[in-house]
Chains A and B, each alone.
Chain A
Amino acid sequence: MTAGLRERPAPPVASVALRSLAALEVRRYLRSPLFLIGVGLLVWTTVVAIGDFGQNVGVTDPGDQDFLPAFCLGLLGVFVGHQLTRSLDASEEAIGASPSDGVRRTAALCLACLVPGVVALAWVGWIYAALAVGNIPLSATIGAGARAAMLLSGVVAAVGGPLFGVLVARWVRFPGSPLVAVVVLAGWVLVSTVALALPPSRAGTLLHLSAPLTAWSSADGPRSPAWVAGGSPGWYLGYVLLLCGLAATAALLPSATTPRRGRLLRLLALLGVAALACLTLAVLPDPVRIPL
């Protein structure tokens, strides 16, 4: 009771305040049990997958391993992002009286969603290192740039999942909402893969590439030769990156007041148009299936 009084700090620059809050959210993300389980799962499945590369067990290209970080970090990340956002609901009133408004708090959470992205980037490095060390021959059908774009779309999905979790937490409030979000996300991806079973067409490519995660190579049967689907992996990467931007901007909206809300809505429209443009460009190449 005798401790001396301490002067309040001078108001920091908004970016400094955001950085401090984001640093705290990053620490919370890193300690999330689901995230740690996801990392463990990613390591284990990657070890298995790398073993398969060497033995030529799979019919698909290593570029299609993007589903590993997308599942282990992205899909589980929906729950992590949601939980981090909602965990402070109990203290909402006290938090609401602090100078850090809802937009700053959500922005800090969105920045923390980069954590699984960093892990997924390291995973990409691991995949390349494993390919180089194992001297594993890769199909020349898929160029180095395209393969990198395929793998990086897994990194983006690892970020997109938790961002989607934050978005859901900010917009809907009912028990089980993150589970519904995961089912919707998985359903979207599943529906898009139906296109791979259909004869190649622009509409089929559009359906295939509209999902936030996609498989690029497949085969018509277990003994059939593998092929790579039509479309541009580079523009697809741009498209999924913009989907992340859309999710983050939409997550900021509920707590924004005018005039900030207006600016966010304009940004949302801009990102939406850009995403559509990227998707169109990704679909533009001829919808042919090239043998691997």
Chain B
Amino acid sequence: MNASPTVDLTGITKRYRGTTALSAVDLTLRPGITGLLGPNGAGKTTLLRILATVLDPDAGEVRLLGRAPSGSVPLAEIRRRLGYLPQEMGFPRSFSCFAFIDYMAVLKEWSAPGPRHEEVRRVLDLVDLADVAPKRIRALSGGQRRRVGLAQALLGVPELLLLDEPTTGVDPEQRVSLRQLLSAAGEHSTVLLSTHQTEDVAALCDRVIVLDRGRILHDGGVQELVATAAGRVWLADTPDPGARASWRTGTGKYRNVGTVAPEGSERTDPTLEDAYLLLLGSRASVTEVAA
């Protein structure tokens, strides 16, 4: 473990017109993959944008890769070592896949064309887009575009990789492939993965942070969070109105996630999703689970 953390946030607060997006958040990240979960509007994207140095907090102290991101020189030093996939990444209409990544590589200061083109090919290969490299981005599918976004974030093997919902729109096969890629990245980099997909977090992360209404509700191991739901999830023939969440599974049984076990129910192992729902409490709805 490194002596100094990759990310060190103290008392980070961010407000938008009276709404508090982040409230006195303290966070330390070191190499490895950390999952960031939370409902819509929890402050995940704001947190990632602050870490990506594209947004300044209203209060608190930020240290990234051992530096405070203030002043053009330290800012450039940090940005040279980070990769960022924003939540909503658009692309210029006229660019091909290769041309866009090449452009991003130039912005990331890969000046010599030879090594730069080699690097572009490498990241396109990593996200399985080598075959469509000459194609216009607008001709690609949503999942492929997401992977183009991921490819630019991977340029130059960043020490801090910030990914805002990288698997959105990606098919299951590609998702597994991306998991392999991200787990490899987590061996040498600090990866923060913001997602609504609890199964991605369960499959990839050794640590999970749950954010709600701008505050950290949980910061610890994934198994640690799952353990909080032990004995609180059961299968039954009927939905339990008192449960935090309840839905009909493929077997015809209802999966009830709550605090009181109804009569005739069958206990089952909790998942990260169950634990997450219980942590969020009454704010989690069945609709959200189904979605």
Known contacts A1-B128, A87-B94; A11 and B80 CB within 8 A of each other: yes
| Chain A residues positioned under 8 Å from B110 (CB to CB) | 9, 20
Most buried by B among A8, A9, A98: A98
Is B220 engaged at the interface, CB distance under 8 Å to the other chain? no
A99 touches B109 (CB 8 A): yes
Is A17 engaged at the interface, CB distance under 8 Å to the other chain? yes
Mask of A1-26 contacts with B, CB within 8 angstroms, 1/0: 10111111101100011011100100
Within A94-126, the residues touching B (CB, 8 Å) are 94-101, 105
Report the bound CA distance from A21 to B110 in whole Å.
Answer: 10
Rounded to whole Å, the gap between the CB of A26 and the closest CB of chain B is 12
Is A141 engaged at the interface, CB distance under 8 Å to the other chain? no
Query: CB within 8 A of B89: which of A4, A19, A94, A257?
Result: A94
Known contacts A91-B92, A93-B54, A260-B72; A99 and B111 CB within 8 A of each other: no
Is B157 engaged at the interface, CB distance under 8 Å to the other chain? yes
Rounded to whole Å, the gap between the CB of B51 and the closest CB of chain A is 9
| Chain B residues positioned under 8 Å from A17 (CB to CB) | 109, 111
Most buried by B among A100, A105, A260: A100
Report the bound CA distance from A91 to B85 in whole Å.
Answer: 10
Known contacts A8-B156, A97-B82, A100-B107; A91 and B89 CB within 8 A of each other: yes
Known contacts A97-B52, A97-B82; A21 and B107 CB within 8 A of each other: yes
Within B81-113, the residues touching A (CB, 8 Å) are 81-82, 84-86, 88-94, 100, 102-104, 106-112
| Chain A residues positioned under 8 Å from B177 (CB to CB) | 1
Mask of B102-135 contacts with A, CB within 8 angstroms, 1/0: 1110111111100100110010011010000000
Rounded to whole Å, the gap between the CB of A93 and the closest CB of chain B is 4
Is B271 engaged at the interface, CB distance under 8 Å to the other chain? no
Known contacts A11-B109, A16-B111, A105-B107; A94 and B93 CB within 8 A of each other: no
Interface residue range, chain A: 20 to 34
Query: CB within 8 A of A6: which of B72, B107, B128, B156?
Result: B156
B79 touches A98 (CB 8 A): yes
Mask of A82-95 contacts with B, CB within 8 angstroms, 1/0: 00000111110111
A257 touches B91 (CB 8 A): no
| Chain B residues positioned under 8 Å from A105 (CB to CB) | 107
**Minimum CB distance partner of B45 in chain A:** A93
Rounded to whole Å, the gap between the CB of B137 and the closest CB of chain A is 10
| Chain A residues positioned under 8 Å from B122 (CB to CB) | 3-4, 6
Rounded to whole Å, the gap between the CB of B155 and the closest CB of chain A is 9
Interface residue range, chain B: 35 or more
Is B35 engaged at the interface, CB distance under 8 Å to the other chain? no
| Chain A residues positioned under 8 Å from B90 (CB to CB) | 89-91
B79 touches A97 (CB 8 A): yes
Report the bound CA distance from A54 to B197 in whole Å.
Answer: 75
Query: CB within 8 A of A20: which of B49, B111, B128?
Result: B111
Report the bound CA distance from A11 to B72 in whole Å.
Answer: 14
A95 touches B107 (CB 8 A): yes
B93 touches A87 (CB 8 A): yes
Known contacts A93-B86, A98-B104, A260-B72; A6 and B157 CB within 8 A of each other: yes
| Chain B residues positioned under 8 Å from A8 (CB to CB) | 80-81, 156-157
* Seed contacts A8-B80, A88-B103, A96-B52; 6 additional CB < 8 Å A-B pairs: A6-B118, A7-B157, A12-B109, A91-B92, A93-B89, A94-B85
Q: List 15 A-B contacts (CB under 8 A).
A: A1-B126, A1-B181, A6-B115, A8-B157, A9-B156, A11-B109, A16-B111, A21-B107, A90-B92, A91-B104, A94-B89, A94-B153, A98-B104, A99-B107, A257-B72
6 smallest beta-carbon distances between A and B, as pairs:
A90-B90, A8-B156, A98-B107, A93-B86, A20-B111, A97-B84
